[in-house]
């Protein structure tokens, strides 16, 4: 290194070095040639001989000029060399500079990467912590809700018992307020429980083959009375091309529809609610099923629309005061719909109404009974009379899809004119509630001309309407609104002595008399699914019972210990403790065999039935439960010879 430095300083300039070489060689030539000349001439070396040789040999002058010429050439070469070297030095300087730059950039990049990696790992940790916290929160909520449910059940159950005792008006009002508030609180807790189940990822989809329309029809059954009380028309429109059977989760779809229809009724003061359903084929295996619930209610301001599906969100604070609710329903619906592969959205105009729609993806299945032969209906002429335009449209579409031709009127007086003009039809579908002339009055007009064989009539009416005396003979049948498509078809087919091939699940109408013969009973329902709870309580309410609810087997065991129930409807599959275990525990704890326990099960195989009986249950009901079966069951165990039945299982 040191040597190199010295060399560099001495010969720092090539021009100088080469000039030195030039001078050295330039001096060497004349001196050497002079010395050689003196030596060749045998002369002694002295200054005078040098001058002599110079004088005699003019060539020497030329040789003497050599230092000058050589020095000049060398200095030119040196200068070039210098430039080259400088260029080289510049170049290597630049390379060095760039290398340094690159090295620095490299370092910076490396530290940036390290920083990013550090942030990433911190983020990951934070995300994991947040997820763990969310799960912990959801689990806490879920445990809390369960813990709250137990004392709440006692409050509700006991207040129910209290109502049944002798109370003065004031006390009765207080007790009823406790009961109603208890029920409301329980439904809030159920919402929270559901929400926390979704948040902690514990909500699972249970796929099964199902009738596509079942969730809608169950919902309409459940909420028809509520709509009726507010005098709102509840309508259902099933578009063509909707598959009859699909594979999906009935309870979850029903939960969403119940929530949307419930909201629609809640936020609508007058008008109608239309539930429609259509299907779009996506590929050979999948359909997109689109449900929508359209109301003519208060509507939602545009700037609030996107907040609705967030948890605990309501349009404004006054909503809770006026309409109640937790603001969780739509958030839960959104999650459920997403689990089913779809979306949920809303369109609304304030003061005009809202349409909530959702889609799901589902695989259709073909069931042989889905395509009955109804050719014999083709061409029959149907008279449709209804003052509601939407309902007319729905009935027309249904008739069309069954090959019936139709004439529809929104004004019953017009039908009177047609009758007078001699018009005739094969079948009449009349709405009951119409202005000017109601369904019964119109039927009376029709019967003046046509007998029931000539023109059979079907009356559409609100739930609970009972035909009296002569009215019974005027109509072939009376169907509750909203009418199930299959029920209507089945009734039409019956008129022509043929079966539609559809399995109709709608209960045959029970009369007031039937219901009155049922005894007073204290009933507990053990069922974890919130909508199933509502369906069952609604049915039992129609039969005159106010029931208590337990959300799992453990709660049921505790409830039975506290309250002297006559009858328990026990779901088989429940979280925490299932129906079989709960029944065994109840039978262990309570010696009173007069408590009747009836299983509710989706799997009604003989093996399951035996398992129910072995665990100490008295009987079983196949799900989905329906009013006539429940009615028969209560009659069987509490009206008919009950002791024989009890002995047969004990």
194 versus 386: smaller Cβ distance to ligand ADP: 194
Q: Which two tokens stand for residue 214?
A: 């079942």
Q: Rounded distance, CA 388 to CA 409, Å? A: 10
Element holding 293 (H helix, E strand):
strand 287-295
246 versus 261: smaller Cβ distance to ligand ADP: 261
Find where tokens 């080469």 sit: 18
Residue 331 CB, shortest distance to ligand ADP, in Å, is: 6
Please name which of 555, 595, 594 lies closest in space to residue 575, comparing C-alpha atoms: 555
259 versus 480: smaller Cβ distance to ligand ADP: 259
Please name which of 370, 429, 364 lies closest in space to residue 394, comparing C-alpha atoms: 429
Residue 305 CB, shortest distance to ligand ADP, in Å, is: 9
Based on the shown chain and the rule CB under 6 A, indicate whether residue 259 belongs to the binding site for ligand ADP. Answer: yes
Based on the shown chain and the rule CB under 6 A, indicate whether residue 267 belongs to the binding site for ligand ADP. Answer: yes
- Residue 413: strand, helix, or coil: helix
* Positions 91 through 150 that interact with ligand ADP (CB under 6 A): none
Q: Which stretch binds ligand ADP (CB under 6 A): 262-270, 471-479, 545-553, 572-580?
A: 262-270
298 versus 404: smaller Cβ distance to ligand ADP: 298
Residue spans of alpha helices (H) in 267-362: 317-323, 329-339
Question: How many chain residues bind ligand ADP (CB under 6 A)?
Answer: 20
Q: Rounded distance, CA 494 to CA 502, Å? A: 12
Based on the shown chain and the rule CB under 6 A, indicate whether residue 263 belongs to the binding site for ligand ADP. Answer: yes
Based on the shown chain and the rule CB under 6 A, indicate whether residue 271 belongs to the binding site for ligand ADP. Answer: no
Which of 138, 141, 212, 264 touches ligand ADP (CB under 6 A)? Answer: 264
The binding track of 200-239 with respect to ligand ADP, each residue x by CB under 6 A or -, is ----------------------------------------
- Cα–Cα separations (whole angstroms), residue 314 to 128, 269, 320, 535: 30, 18, 8, 26
219 versus 326: smaller Cβ distance to ligand ADP: 326
Residue 382 CB, shortest distance to ligand ADP, in Å, is: 33
Strand-pairing partners, residue 210, are 246
- Residue 575: strand, helix, or coil: coil
Based on the shown chain and the rule CB under 6 A, indicate whether residue 534 belongs to the binding site for ligand ADP. Answer: no
Q: Are 430 and 388 in contact (CB under 8 A)?
A: no
Q: Which stretch binds ligand ADP (CB under 6 A): 154-162, 176-184, 236-244, 322-330?
A: 322-330
Strand-pairing partners, residue 358, are 291, 344
Q: What angle do CA 391, 273, 381 make, to 5 degrees?
A: 10
Phi–psi pair at 619, nearest 5 degrees: -160, 180
Q: Which stretch binds ligand ADP (CB under 6 A): 83-91, 325-333, 363-371, 460-468?
A: 325-333
Residue 270 CB, shortest distance to ligand ADP, in Å, is: 14
CB-based contacts of 177-184 (< 8 A; 24+ apart in sequence): 179/546, 182/152, 182/155, 182/156, 183/156, 184/324
* Positions 292 through 321 that interact with ligand ADP (CB under 6 A): 295, 297-298, 300, 308, 314-315, 319
Please name which of 276, 254, 267 lies closest in space to residue 304, comparing C-alpha atoms: 267
Based on the shown chain and the rule CB under 6 A, indicate whether residue 431 belongs to the binding site for ligand ADP. Answer: no
Based on the shown chain and the rule CB under 6 A, indicate whether residue 326 belongs to the binding site for ligand ADP. Answer: yes
Residue 316 CB, shortest distance to ligand ADP, in Å, is: 7
Residue 135 CB, shortest distance to ligand ADP, in Å, is: 23
315 versus 524: smaller Cβ distance to ligand ADP: 315
Which of 22, 243, 329, 579 touches ligand ADP (CB under 6 A)? Answer: 329
* Positions 333 through 372 that interact with ligand ADP (CB under 6 A): 354
Residue 284 CB, shortest distance to ligand ADP, in Å, is: 36
Alpha-carbon torsion, ordered 513, 515, 517, 518, to 10 deg: 180
Please name which of 355, 357, 356, 361 lies closest in space to residue 339, comparing C-alpha atoms: 361
Binding site for ligand ADP (CB under 6 A): 259, 263-264, 267, 295, 297-298, 300, 308, 314-315, 319, 325-331, 354
């Amino acid at each position: 290194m040191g040597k190199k430095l010295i060399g560099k300083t001495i010969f720092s300039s090539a021009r100088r070095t080469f000039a030195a070489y030039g001078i050295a060689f330039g001096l060497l030539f004349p001196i050497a040639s002079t010395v050689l000349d003196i030596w060749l001439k045998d002369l002694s070396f002295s200054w005078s001989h040098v001058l002599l040789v110079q004088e005699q040999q003019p060539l020497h002058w030329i040789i003497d000029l050599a230092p000058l010429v050589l020095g000049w050439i060398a200095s030119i070469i040196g200068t070039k060399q210098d430039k080259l070297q400088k260029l080289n030095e510049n170049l290597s300087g630049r390379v060095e500079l760039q290398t340094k730059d690159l090295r620095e950039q490299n370092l910076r990049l490396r530290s940036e990467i390290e920083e990013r990696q550090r942030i990433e790992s911190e983020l990951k940790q934070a995300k994991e912590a947040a997820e763990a916290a969310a799960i912990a929160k959801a689990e806490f909520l879920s445990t809390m809700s369960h813990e709250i449910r137990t004392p709440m059940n006692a409050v509700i159950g006991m207040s129910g018992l209290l109502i049944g005792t002798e109370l003065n008006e004031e006390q009765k009002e207080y007790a009823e307020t406790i009961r109603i508030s208890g029920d409301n609180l329980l439904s809030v807790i159920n919402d929270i429980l559901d929400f926390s189940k979704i948040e902690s990822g514990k909500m699972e989809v249970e796929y099964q083959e199902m009738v596509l329309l079942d969730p809608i029809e169950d919902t309409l059954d459940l909420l028809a009375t509520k709509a009726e009380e507010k005098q709102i028309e509840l309508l259902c429109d099933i578009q063509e091309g909707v598959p009859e059977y699909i594979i999906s989760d009935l309870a979850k779809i029903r939960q969403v529809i119940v929530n949307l229809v419930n909201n629609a009724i809640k936020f609508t003061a007058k008008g109608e609610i239309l539930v429609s359903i259509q299907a779009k084929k996506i590929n050979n295996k999948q359909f997109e099923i689109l449900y929508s619930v359209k109301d003519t209610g208060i509507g939602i301001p545009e700037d609030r629309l996107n907040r609705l599906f967030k948890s605990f969100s309501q349009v404004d604070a006054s909503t809770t005061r006026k309409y109640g609710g937790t603001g969780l329903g739509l958030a839960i619906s959104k999650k459920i719909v997403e689990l089913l592969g779809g979306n949920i959205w809303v369109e609304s105009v304030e003061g005009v109404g809202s349409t909530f729609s959702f889609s799901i993806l589902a695989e259709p299945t073909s069931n042989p009974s889905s395509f009955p032969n109804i050719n014999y209906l083709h061409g029959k002429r149907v008279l449709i009379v209804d003052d509601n335009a939407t309902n007319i449209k729905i009935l027309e579409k249904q008739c069309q899809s069954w090959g019936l031709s139709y004439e529809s009127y929104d004004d019953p007086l017009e039908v009177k004119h047609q009758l007078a003009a001699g018009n005739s039809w094969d079948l009449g579908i009349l709405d009951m509630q119409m202005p000017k002339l109601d369904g019964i009055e119109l039927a009376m007009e029709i019967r003046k001309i046509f007998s029931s064989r000539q023109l059979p009539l079907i009356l559409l009416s609100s739930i609970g309407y009972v035909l009296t005396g002569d009215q019974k003979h005027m109509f072939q049948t009376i169907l509750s609104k909203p009418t199930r498509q299959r029920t209507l078809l089945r009734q039409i087919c019956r008129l022509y002595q043929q079966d539609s091939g559809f399995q109709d699940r709608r209960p045959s109408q029970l009369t007031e008399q039937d219901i009155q013969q049922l005894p007073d009973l204290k009933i507990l329902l053990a069922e974890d699914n919130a909508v199933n709870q509502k369906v069952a309580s609604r049915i039992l309410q129609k039969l005159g019972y106010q029931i208590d609810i337990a959300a799992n087997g453990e709660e049921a065991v505790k409830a039975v210990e506290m309250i002297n129930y006559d009858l328990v409807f026990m779901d088989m599959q429940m979280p925490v403790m299932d129906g079989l275990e709960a029944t065994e525990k109840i039978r262990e704890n309570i010696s009173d065999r007069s408590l009747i326990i009836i299983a509710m099960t989706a799997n009604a195989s003989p093996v399951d039935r035996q398992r129910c009986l072995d665990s100490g249950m008295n009987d079983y009901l196949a799900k989905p439960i329906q009013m006539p079966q429940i009615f028969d069951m209560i009659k069987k165990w509490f009206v008919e010879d009950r002791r024989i039945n009890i002995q047969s299982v004990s």
